[in-house]
Structure 1
């Protein structure tokens, strides 16, 4: 992929309160639709986005375990919410509060995924960033084979300490 060498910067782009970033993918995660705000915030044109993996906007600060959780949920036919730090083509970043849902055909087969991202609650981001840093550290310490499980354990421990399920926790952070 020609965009794999984007160098992240410390420049943050903040979504407008009313802005919605919308995209659709096929079952393999290849982008089939991206609205104008998705193009604007990512910095990629429609032609650069269509047909490529959605992880084109994955920021290196994002733990792999978050995406494992997300994929497990949507592939099982359930919606999922997550705080996600995305990478723009110019190296800047933008945080989103994502709602990802599976799309079904008439026979109830999953045919793709639909994601609506909005501005995250700013007060939630420091807590999310610290957790994601711990998860990333666990992934790096564990090595490739055990990285995701080590990172998921950090998340499980945080949820246990919060006496919460994942969904309750992220929704409470977003709605606080």
Structure 2
């Protein structure tokens, strides 16, 4: 079990330990916005329902509340490093729900801008991935989880190019 504090309300939220139980995902787009400190400022209903948090609970929680421990830490660093360069990062993410269940998504992380063009947070879009790709991603991410953060690169994630 892990405990997270909502910086907006001051209340704590408990998340169960990971289970080997997959939660069904209907494929609707999930959107979450976070600030520069990684705090959730917006989460659409689909994401809230998948993670099993209501709006008052999730806004103000760290985005890490949804990080499954199977995910290589270096991929989150890579995603936000790419977004901090004003680019879009694309990859796959295994998320964890409040009760410890998991689900996989194809993810895009992009920066949000102020009027002066400074980055003031990130928009993260999640959608249903292709199931056969996830089998390969799981193998690759297991390998990456054992590496140094700086060595974390994969054919399954990185800067999204529109060429």
TM-score bucket of the superposed structures, by smaller chain: 0.7 to 0.9
Q: Could you tell me the TM-score, scaled by structure 2's length?
A: 0.84
Alignment correspondent of 2:103:
94
Deviations 1:48-69 (A, max 9, x none): 2111110110000000011011
Task: Give the match's secondary structure for 1:137.
Answer: coil
Alignment of 1:14 onto 2:24: yes
Q: Which runs of 5+ in 2 are unaligned?
A: 5-11
In the aligned structure 1, how far is the partner of 2:128 from the partner of 2:15?
A: 27
Residue aligning to 2:36 = 27
Q: After superposition, what is the alpha-carbon deviation per residue over 1:126-145, rounded to whole angstroms, capped at 9, x for unaligned?
A: 1100011111133xxxxxxx
Assess if the C-alpha contact under 8 Å between 1:80 and 1:167 holds in 2: yes
Q: Which has the higher helix share?
A: 1
* Structure 1: segments with no counterpart, 5+ residues: 139-146, 172-176
RMSD: 2.2
1:136-175 equivalences under 5 Å are: 136-138=145-147, 147-150=148-151, 152=152, 155=153, 159=155, 166-167=158-159
Higher strand share: 2
Deviations along 1:42-100, one digit per CA (max 9) or x if unpaired, are 11121221111101100000000110110101111111111000000010001011111
Aligned residue for 1:118? 127
Alpha-carbon distance in 2 for matches of 1:165, 1:30: 23
- What is the Cα deviation at residue 168 of structure 1? 6.9
Structure 1 residue runs of 4 or more that deviate by more than 2 Å after TM superposition: 1-6, 164-169
Cα gap change, 1:97 to 1:45, in 2 (>3 Å): same
